[in-house]
Amino acid sequence: MDLEFALIGSSVVSGSAAVRLLKEAGVKPSDLSSPDAAALYGIVLNHMERYRKPPHPDTLLELARTDLSGIKEPFEFYFDIYNQNRLKADLVALNSELNEHLDGGSASEALSFMDAEMRRIRQRSTITSRAQPIFNLSQAVVEEYEKAKRGEHGILTRWPTINDMTMGFYPGDFVLIVARTSVGKTWISLIMAIDAWQMEENRKKVLYVTTEMTQIRMARRFAAIHLRLPFGQFCKGRLGEFAEAKFKEEMRFLEEEKNFFIIGGDFDFSIDSLHAAIDQVEPDILFLDGAYLMKGDGTSRTERMSNTFDRLKRLNHRTNIPFVLTTQLNRGAAVAGQPVGTHNIAMSDVAGWHAELAFALTRNAQMKDKKRLQIDPMKIREGEEKSTQIGFDMNKMSFEEVDPALDDDDDDDEPDAGDAQEDVGGEF
């Protein structure tokens, strides 16, 4: 029995979900090299269209003299082999056509062709939506419960309220950090990335991509957060003797660090480039700062942003790691304490549709004076929503969660050295 015939036959034995998966994967009778398999698939598709389920194997034996009794393996077995064979054929064909483009003398056209073909191949080769009876997942649900009972969690932040709402960031989570310009998106996402990188129980490999800032500026912020260096003095080269020695010693140590990767400063960064970077680094979590500036297709900014977030969500599912992305709030949601929702995300509703978790950052004049930042949940798919405030002190590099009800009256205290330099360093 040939593979293609076994594939179609096993889909009949497996049921409607398997046949639908073949259709979703783009398999057509004309794609099959085996005449028997193509004829059988045509019968199955016609029966599905008319009766909404595949024919019974006994019916095929009676009416079409097609015997499926020789099929010994489940549908998934044949489907995986078929997909691997098809992927190999696609790559061989791509190599041949790419060489033809290169022979024509245009490397840029060859690159564009390769990008388009790789997108098509990835989309076709990553079909994973296999329907399962709900009770097949019973044991998985029990295992998830036992993990929670043992205190296991996803990738945590330093903020207890956020962790209590989310239980950490899990594979496949699509997380948005949203704020107006110069409120704190880049800083907060970088703090989260550092928290993931230095988790006590299980340090994570981090890929941090920014479309807005250079790698050296991000590395400088990383050093300031990690070593708690007063940022204004650090930027101006005015660290004290002890702090400067500590900084230089730690930088020598970090030269050997292989679990934190930064890509920065490319306004034309594309989804395909991002996919390639993820394949190269194989991170446990991705942070994408300035997702709204990613290069995308479309005739308007809104259309480009919608298409970009559609593709980012697909990439999120394919790679099965948490994505934490920053983007913009619209002007109507710029005041701390005002209700915010995913409808307040600037330029497109699509980002909010795709998110499992979304948080808004806001800061009014009073909070700025107190060196505070408010984090409001915009969307929490599982868990109770609760706002929180964190410290946002660039001099002490203190970003811990605070309780506004326990505020001390600091008016009579002497100001910290360098307080006037709070806003040094670009976007907060």
Q: What is the mean pLDDT of residues 25-45?
A: 90
- In the structure encoding, which two tokens stand for residue 230, read together? 């007063």
β-pair type (388-391, 260-264): unpaired
Separation between Cα atoms, residue 144 and residue 233, nearest integer Å = 47
Does 165 reside within a domain? yes
Are 91 and 178 members of one domain? no
Same domain, yes or no: 195 and 316: yes
* 389 touches 336 (CB < 8 A): no
Could you tell me which residues are beta bridge partners of residue 359? 177, 377
Report the domain count for the chain: 2
What pLDDT shows up at residue 412?
45
Model confidence at 420: pLDDT above 60? no
Joined tokens for residue 374: 């408010």
Give the lowest-confidence range in 68-72, 285-289, 321-325: 68-72
Residue 383's region, left for phi above 0, alpha for psi from -120 to 50, else beta, is left
Averaged pLDDT, 136-165? 86
Query: Residue 163's domain is classified under what CATH number?
Result: 3.40.50.300
Average pLDDT over residues 86-108: 84
Most confident of 182-196, 239-253, 293-307: 182-196
Is residue 124 domain-resident?
A: no
The DSSP bridge pattern shows strands 323-328 and 174-179 to be parallel
> According to DSSP H, which parts of 52-153 are helical?
57-64, 75-103, 107-125, 138-149
Indicate whether 137 belongs to any domain.
Answer: no
pLDDT at 342: 81
Q: What is the pLDDT of residue 423?
A: 40
Q: Is the pLDDT of residue 68 over 90?
A: no
Query: Does 43 fall in a domain?
Result: yes
**50 and 160 co-located in one domain:** no
Q: Which of the two residues, 159 and 123, has the higher pLDDT score? A: 159
H helix or E strand, kind and range, residue 360: strand 357-362
CA gap 124, 103 in Å, rounded: 28
Residue 331 has pLDDT above 80, yes or no: no
Q: Are residues 392 and 300 in the same domain?
A: yes
Quick one: 195 and 89 in the same domain?
no
Residues 198 and 52 in one domain: no
Rounded mean pLDDT, 93-116:
82
Is 77 in the same domain as 223?
A: no
**In this structure, are 166 and 92 located in the same domain?**
no
CA-to-CA distance for 368 and 366, rounded, in angstroms? 5
Distance CA 175, CA 414 (A): 40
pLDDT above 60: residue 410: no
Domain-ending residue, one of 96, 116, 139: 96
**Residues 35, 74: Cα–Cα separation, whole Å:** 22
- Model confidence at 237, pLDDT cuts 50, 70, 90, reads very high
Give the largest Cα separation in the chain, rounded: 94
Q: Does residue 288 belong to any structural domain of this protein?
A: yes
User: Is the pLDDT score of 415 beyond 50?
Assistant: no
pLDDT score, position 83: 85
Out of 3-17, 81-95, 102-116, 389-403, pick the least confident: 102-116
- The top-scoring range by mean pLDDT among 69-73, 90-94, 113-117, 225-229 is 225-229
Task: Note the pLDDT tens digit of each residue in 348-367.
Answer: 788 888 999 999 999 888 98
Phi, psi dihedral angles at 391 (to 5 degrees): -65, 145
206-210 sheet: strands from edge to edge = 260-264, 206-210, 285-289, 323-328, 174-179, 357-362, 372-380, 388-391, 401-402
Cβ(359)–Cβ(378) under 8 Å? yes
Average pLDDT of the segment spanning 162-191: 93
The model scores a pTM over 0.85: no
Indicate if the pLDDT at residue 336 is higher than 70.
no
DSSP 135-187: GGGHHHHHHHHHHHHTT--SB--S-HHHHHHHSSB-TT-EEEEEE-TTSSHHH
Any domain includes 252: yes
Would you say residue 109 lies in a domain?
Answer: no
> What is the rounded average pLDDT of the residues 192-219?
90
Instruction: Give residue 43's domain range.
Output: 3-96
Length of the chain: 428
Answer for the pair 74, 10: CB distance below 8 angstroms, yes or no. yes
Separation CA 252–CA 240 (nearest Å): 19
Residues 61 and 206 grouped into a single domain? no
**Is residue 413 predicted with pLDDT exceeding 60?**
no
Has residue 64 got a pLDDT over 60?
A: yes
The reported pLDDT for the residue numbered 407 is: 65
**Boundary (domain end) residue, out of 96, 123, 141:** 96
Name the pLDDT band for 411 (thresholds 50, 70, 90).
very low
- Residue 55 and residue 199 in one domain: no
User: Which pLDDT score is estimated for 333?
Assistant: 63
Window from 39-43, 47-51, 110-114, 182-186 with minimum mean pLDDT: 110-114
Residues 161 and 306 in one domain: yes
The answer to the question of residue 290 being in a domain is yes
Tokens for 53, please give them.
């389920």
Which tokens is 300 given? 């308007």
Lowest mean pLDDT among 122-136, 211-225, 270-284: 122-136
Residues 177 and 271 reside in one and the same domain: yes
Strands, E, within 213-289: which ranges?
260-264, 285-289
> With bands split at pLDDT 50, 70 and 90, how would you rate the model's confidence at 113?
confident
